[in-house]
Amino acid sequence: MALVEPVPGEPVAVATLESGPDPDRALVVADFHAGIEQALRAEGVSLDSRAEQRRQRLVSLVAETGADRVIFLGDLMHAIGDPGGAERGEIEVLLEALDDRGVPATLVKGNHDGAIESWADLEVTNGAGVRLGDVGFAHGHTWPAPEVLDSETVCVGHEHPAVRLEDEVGGSRVERVWLRGPLSERPFAERESGGGESIRDGAELIVFPAFNELVGATWVNVDGQGFLAPFLPEGLADGQAYLLDGTRLGAYAAV
């Protein structure tokens, strides 16, 4: 059984952090981007807040999966600096809802998360990530810590991967996707800053889709689109793309 299993039809996964008869299971969520509507309105896009829908959806997924905890894989916030009142309120109410259900939360800090540790009531790790059991978690905007890379499965967000699919009559749509495959040692061995981090034989890398459907995307099958993470695409040279419903699209570079 894989240590990290996507929830069918949803942009989240369940990670098994401890083995045994009563394993510790975490719901893993990437790129929540609370309060994004406020930023979009500042750009001239008029949208009502979807904060309540995001909260209800996440809390429902915790209940449906029986998760013991939630791990936010970076960018729980959207504002890179200090959050506005609506964004901060959304995060505080979300964390209160999880706390009311006895579900602790951990944030692997992303590039949008500012000084969130100074006011939000949850555990916050630095951007290089954390290893829990045999699963490593990092946001992906910077190089993962050595202990994260020395994991059976490494989970990252940041990219918001998506594909553009065309139908027989020339129409197209954008779909969020998972990217997963063997974790390649090459980009880490070539780092100028010492590098040479240990990669476990058979390690897997999973790039999570964004939880928030309003964020932009890295279209992995469109010419001219570049990855954001410093270790991609080289770190996932043989990666496969999967739709949220589990449909395998094949090698992401050839979709």
Euclidean distance between CA atoms 243 and 163, whole angstroms: 9
Radius of gyration from C-alpha coordinates of the chain = 18
Which pLDDT value is given to residue 142? 95
Q: pLDDT 10s digit of each residue in the chain, 255 long?
A: 689 999 999 999 999 997 655 678 999 999 999 988 777 766 677 677 788 999 999 999 999 999 999 999 999 988 766 676 778 899 999 999 999 999 999 999 999 898 999 989 999 999 899 999 999 999 999 999 999 999 999 999 999 999 988 766 666 788 999 999 999 988 988 775 555 567 888 899 999 999 999 888 888 877 777 899 999 999 997 889 999 999 999 987 655
Q: Report the Cα–Cα distance between both ends of the chain, in Å, rounded.
A: 27
pLDDT of residue 189: 81
Helix (H) or strand (E) holding 124: strand 123-125
β-bridge partners, 15 = 4, 26
Q: What is the pLDDT of residue 196?
A: 53
The full DSSP string for 16-79 is E-S-SSS--EEEEE----BTHHHHHHHTT------HHHHHHHHHHHHHHHT-SEEEE-S-SB--
Identity of residue 157: G
Range of the domain at 130: 4-254
Which residues touch 251 (CB under 8 Å, ≥6 apart)? 238, 239, 240, 241
Contacting residues for 190 by C-beta, under 8 A, at least 6 apart? none
Structural domains in the chain (count): 1
**Cα–Cα distance measured from residue 138 to residue 145, given in angstroms and rounded to the nearest whole number:** 8
Residue among 225, 155, 169, 234 at smallest CA distance from 195? 234
* The pLDDT of residue 252: 76
pLDDT, position 40: 72
